[in-house]
Amino acid sequence: MSETYLPDDATRAGTGLAEGPEWLEPIRRRAAERFAATGFPSSRHEEWRFTPIAPIVGTAWRPAPASGEVTGDRLVPFIFGHPEWSTLVFVNGWFSEGLSAIGPLPHGVRVSSLAEALRADGASLEAHLGRHAPIEGSPFTAINTASFRDGGLVYLPAGVELAGPVHFVYVSTPEAGGTVVHPRNLIVVERGARASVIESYVTLAPGEVYWNNPVTEVSAGAGSWLEHTRIQRESERAHHVGLTHVDQQRDSHYRSFTMAMGAALSRHNLHVRLNDENIETLMYGLYLTQGEQVADNHTAIFHDQPNCRSWEVYKGVLEDRSRAVFNGKVFVKPEAQKTDAKQTNRNLLLSDGAKVDTKPQLEIFADDVKCTHGATVGRLDDVALFYARSRGIPALAAERLLTYAFAAEVVEEVALEPVRLELERLVRERLAE
């Protein structure tokens, strides 16, 4: 691979052109050149105005080493489910075969590390890898595209239903301190196939400062069904900036749930493009912040064709001096008649120092549509608190009960019961702190 000039920004970002099959090299090179031209965003960029990325920009990050001893018992709190589930574990960004377990798979289904798949049959990924998440959308995506070395792969051929979910578990150890990881996930669900995929970002080093920069590309074929759950539980001193980009085809169903409760700074961009008719997109999110954490969710739904439906509900519970950002966009093209799009962001402030910047947006260029949006920021309802107290519930218990009810309303939308129960447990545990 020939030399490519990378600026100081790239050095600080731990960026370099990683290896791969021949067809991947020009994709990586374009991404590196794109980042060389743009560098990191600043507060002058509208999309990053409320995202304090100065700690990322001002640090010289090292690539994460292929080290960090982890035993299976230490992962028990983060891995949930049944024996037939497939779990892929990545330690500091590197796939751990010994900690992973891939259950029985139907014929033609591929579940593996991305690096392994590229070595074994890289040509089969050419139609999708690097084709869905545009490097022009974010410098962080460009960094990832140029530099990723591993990640998770799920590929379902047409008409196949996966009995158990696939769980990608990215775990950071004390050796991750001062390092950056650029994980890359690829999920391809072809025509009429059905799957559930979970991404977890967790830590065994709660006091370490590191940076996780994942990108997930999703291709949902015609008539397919995908439930996609993303759980971010990083070190509360770490930084997490991620992108999920989804392309949906005719009659497909994509159901997303995103939870953020870790990291000093966490940002997740979720972009979904509805490329044909009769598509359904459901997006749910919950962020729980405390201390001086910042949780930022930027979503974009692109209604490119008629007769499609999208439903988006994000909720936040903020304590102490923490801050949240929600920026939700819905774009409706002129040809996307009969669009039905609803967007809601609700925030609960549990302290005087907590703050939310919320900006729901609709850009509608069609006239025969049903599109609504709304945002609320407030405190616990005094009437509901009084009612609970009048029934003999102590004040603190009443506040926790009402707060949990606020959060559980969106958690209940997770279709997979074991995942839903685990998320409910995490919420109860967090609110009890």
7-22 per-position pLDDT tens digit: 456 555 655 667 789 9
Give φ, ψ of 179 to 5 degrees. -115, 170
Q: Is 189 domain-assigned?
A: yes
Q: Is the pTM of this model over 0.85?
A: yes
Work out the percent of the chain whose per-residue pLDDT is above 70.
Answer: 96
Q: Are strands 294-303 and 323-332 parallel, antiparallel or unpaired?
A: parallel
Residues 6+ apart with CB under 8 A from 149: 18, 93, 94, 115, 182
* Statement: residue 144 has pLDDT above 90: yes
Place of tokens 């590196």: 32
Query: Other C-beta atoms within 10 Å of 45: how many?
Result: 12
Residue 232 lies in a domain: yes
Owning domain of residue 392? 8-431
> Which tokens is 297 given?
């969710």
Specify if 3 maps to a domain.
Answer: no
Q: Terminus-to-terminus CA distance in the chain, angstroms?
A: 51
Q: What is the Cα–Cα distance from 366 to 196, expressed in whole angstroms?
A: 33
pLDDT number for residue 320: 97
Average pLDDT of the chain, as a whole number: 93
1 occurs within a structural domain: no
Q: Residue 403: which pLDDT band, with cuts at 50, 70 and 90?
A: very high
Total number of domains constituting the chain: 1
Cα 206 from Cα 368, distance rounded (Å): 51
Quick check: is 343 in a domain? yes
Determine, yes or no, domain membership for 2: no
Instruction: Kindly state the percentage of the chain with pLDDT values over 90.
Output: 85
